[in-house]
Amino acid sequence: MDYEYLFNKQRELDTYIEDNLESANRDDLFRKKILALQVEIGELANETRCFKFWSKKGPSEQSVILEEYVDGLHFILSVGLDKGLIYTSRPLSDNGSDQTDSFLELYRSIDAFYSEPVQETYVTLFQSFLQLGQQLGFTEDSILKAYQQKNEVNHTRQDEGY
């Protein structure tokens, strides 16, 4: 995956959003983005329904799950940029976890990065996220395409005062 491209596109979006913020809303954006990331991951988990042992209803359509996934990707890229960190391609290994375990691991990775925002914890966060995407059946191409589409939507929303 072209991570440099993703970071550049996210930097453009973040700059556009932050340039249009009132000064009071600029305070502690990193903390707010971490919470937004956690919420997006929760929305993603809700669409997969992997933890809903009490329900017989299946997961949402793959396109819905992918859109939630790239919402999370936007925030993972953004929090890395906030701390001057980037991710470069590294091999992923199958950790043998089910989706529920992968979500729990991702939440632990978010918390570890929030507590200690350094390259090592960022790499762990990014890899946990990519591992989940792999488990969900997403290809690099599908992720990139969905990211581009959602990035355009996010720009349009900013133009319209979202």
Tokens at 65, concatenated:
């799950």
Distances (CA, A) of 74 to 37, 53, 57: 9, 29, 28
Q: Which residue has the higher pLDDT, 145 or 153?
A: 145
Residue span of the structural domain in which 120 resides: 3-159
SS (H, E, C) 125-154: HHHHHHHHHHHCCCCHHHHHHHHHHHHHHH
pLDDT digits (tens, 9 = 90+) for 19-48: 877 765 566 899 999 999 999 999 999 999
Please report where in the chains the tokens 């946990």 appear, as a residue.
Answer: 128
Answer for the pair 39, 111: CB distance below 8 angstroms, yes or no.
no
CATH of the domain at 47: 1.10.4010.10
Which of 11, 114, 100 is closest to 50 using CA atoms?
100
pLDDT on residue 159: 77
Structural domain count of the chain: 1
Per-residue pLDDT of 79-134, as tens digits, reads 999 999 999 887 777 767 899 999 999 999 999 999 999 999 999 999 999 999 99
Question: pTM surpassing 0.85?
Answer: yes
**How many other C-beta atoms are found inside a 10 Å radius of the C-beta of residue 61?**
10
